[in-house]
Amino acid sequence: MALANRFSEEVNSTVNFAFDSTQLDHAARMTLQQQASWILQFPEVRFKVYGHTDLVGSDAYNRSLGLRRAKTVVSYLVARGVNRDRLEAVVSLGKEQPLVVTQGRERRNRRTVTEVTGFVDRHPTVLDGKYAEVVYRQYVTGAKPQTELVGLSATGTSSE
């Protein structure tokens, strides 16, 4: 859960699409590049890409379109170096999960959402002790000094 929350806090997990389209625009490609960079840092983590549509069209057509959108995103992430075995394209629940409830064309409903779903089975870094290297790397790169002051003694003079 912590990794799923971190993913959604650090990168935009949503990509939007034009009406009746699976084409990635510039903004979508930029978002997916950020997702790919984040995903590549954690080779032991699996993801699902959920494809959604707006409410225009039949259920069958929307399910097909949602799945095609999810597959487009997965293909883009794979082209950026993410292992295909770590990604799963799935269709949304359709009308049950709109962001904006409307029968009309709503861009925010035409989207994919990438989510952390667990760990890769038998990934070498999970069980061989090297997982600590991944955690440590993230700890060091994410560390920020609390203050710019260096080595002041109790009297306020520099200890260097």
CATH number at residue 48: 3.30.1330.60
The model's pTM is 0.72
Which contacts qualify for 24-30: CB closer than 8 Å, 24 or more apart? Answer: 24/72, 24/73, 24/76, 29/76
In the sheet with 87-91, reading across from the earlier edge strand, the strands are 14-16, 111-119, 45-51, 87-91
Q: pLDDT: is 69 or 119 the higher one? A: 69
* Domain extent at residue 57: 2-142
CA–CA gap between residue 86 and residue 38 (Å, rounded): 13
Residue 69 domain-assigned?
Answer: yes
Number of domains, the chain:
1
Residue 159 domain-assigned?
Answer: no
Mean pLDDT of 2-29: 93
Please give the structure tokens belonging to residue 12: 């935009």
Residue 29 domain-assigned?
Answer: yes
> What is the pLDDT of the chain when averaged over all its residues?
80
**Contact predicate 113/69, CB 8 Å:** no
Count how many residues are written for the chain.
Answer: 160
Cα end-to-end distance, the chain, whole Å: 44
Provide the pLDDT confidence category of residue 34 given band limits of 50, 70 and 90.
very high
CA–CA distances in Å: residue 105 to residues 5, 85, 101: 30, 34, 10
